[in-house]
Amino acid sequence: MKKAILDRFLRYVQIDTQSDEDSQTFPSTKKQFDLVYILEKELKDIGLAEVEVDTYGYVTATLLSNTNKKTPVIGFLAHMDTAPDMSGENVKPQVFENYNGKNIPINKDLDLCLSVKDFPELKNYIGQTIITASGKTLLGADDKAGIAEIMTAMEYLVKHPEIKHGTIKVAFTPDEEVGKGVDYFDVKKFGADYAYTVDGGPIGELEYENFNAASATIKIQGRNIHPGYAKGKMINALLAATEINFMLPVNERPELTENYEGFFHITKLNGTVENSELHYIIRDHDKVKFENKKIFIRDIVNLINTKYNQPIATLEIKDQYYNMREKIEPVYQIVEQAKQAMIEVGVKPEIKPVRGGTDGARLSYMGLPCPNIFTGGHNYHGKFEYVVLESMEKSVRVIIKIIELSTK
C-alpha cells in the first residue's frame, strides 16, 4: 500500500495546480485542469462508476455498494489546488527513508534544512519516510496527500470486495486555498449523507470546528502636497494606514495566538502618500467574539475619520465562512465514527479546532456535514512543508475503517 500511495503522491505534486486569489475565473487557474483529467482517468482505471468532470473542474465518482445492508452514503473530498503563498511550479519532491532524527538537508546549495530545533515534532518520525520539496517551492501535500489517500483507499476497496461497504462518493475540488472551493459544488447531486474532507495535518488530527472568517479591506484617500509646503495641508495615507494597524491589539496576531484564540492578520499593505490600502483577515472560533472583532475594526476606521475630520478611510468587510461546529454537533456520531476508526487502526485521535478553514466548513452549511481528518502533512504553504509516508498510510486505513464501521 505504501508504494501505491508514494507513487501517486510523487506524480501529483509535480503537476502545478496553484490557485490565484486575484483571478475572476473559476477555477482560478486553468492549469488545475492538468490534474483534473489525470484524476478522471485514474478513477475510471481503478473501476469507480459515474466518473464525471464538469466545467468548473469538479471531479466526482462513485464506489458502488457491494452489500444489501442499508448503509449511509459517505463522501470523501480533497482539493487539487495549492496555495498562492509560494510557488507550486516545478516541484521536485525528495524522499528521505528511515529518518535518523537529525536535521534533514532540503537544499544544500541554499544551506536549507528541516531543523529539529525549529521543528521538534520531527523526532516523532524516527525510522519513518519523510517527503519534502527542494526548498524552492512548497511540496503540495496540502492537499495532494489527501487525494492520494482517497484514491488509494478506493483502489484497495475495489481490489478487496470481501470488505463490505455501502455507496461511497468521492470528489476532488479546485480553489480551496482561495476560499472558493465549493462555490459551485452541487451537494444534492453529490448525494452523500455526510462526508469527510481529507485535508488535515499531522497524524491523528480530527477536526469538526474551525474559525469564523472574514476579510477586511481598508482604503485610505490621502492628500499629497509638496513636503516643503505641506503643513496643515498634507494627509499622508501611508501614515494613516500605520496608525490603523497599530490600533489593533498586538496580542491578537497569528504569531501570538493558539488553540481557540482568534486574531487580526494583516496580509497586504501598499500605497503612496496619496492612496494606501490594507488587507486583513479576521478569525475567531467564537461567533460573538468574531462579530466583536468586526465591530472593533469598524470603530478604528471611524476613529481615523474623526481624527482627520473627514472620511479619508473606507472599510469593506466580507464574511468568508463560519464555524462548522454548529452543523456537526447535531450529527456528532460521524465524529465518533472517525474517532473509533482511528483507534481501531492504531492511531491516537487528536480532536482539535482547525485554525483555518476547509471546504468542509462551507459544505456543512450547504447541508453536507463534513468533519476533517489528517493527511500526515506539516508546515503547509511554505518551503519547509513535509509529509510522512507512514502517516499517509494510516490515513488510508482510517478511510477504509470509517467505511467498514458504517456497515455495522
The residue from 16, 81, 207, 393 that is catalytic is 81
Residue-wise over 173-188: b if at least 16 C-beta within 10 A, else e?
bbbbbbbbbbebbeee
Please state, in angstroms and as integers, the Cα–Cα distance from residue 246 to each residue in 112, 214, 241, 250, 296, following that order.
34, 20, 9, 8, 13
CB 79 within 8 A of CB 173: yes
162 assigned to active site: no
The helix/strand/coil state of 253 is coil
* HEC sequence for 48-95: CEEEEECCCCCEEEEECCCCCCCCCCEEEEEECCECCCCCCCCCCCEE
Out of 176, 205, 284, 385, which one is annotated catalytic? Answer: 176
- DSSP bridge pairs for 284: 212
* Strands 130-132 vs 94-96: parallel, antiparallel or unpaired: antiparallel
> Is 81 labeled as catalytic in the residue annotation?
yes
Burial 214-246 (b: 16+ CB within 10 A, else e): bebebbbebeebeeeeeeeebbbbbebbebbee
| Strand ranges for 234-295 from DSSP E | 263-271, 275-284
CA-atom Rg of the chain in angstroms: 23
Catalytic residues: 81, 176
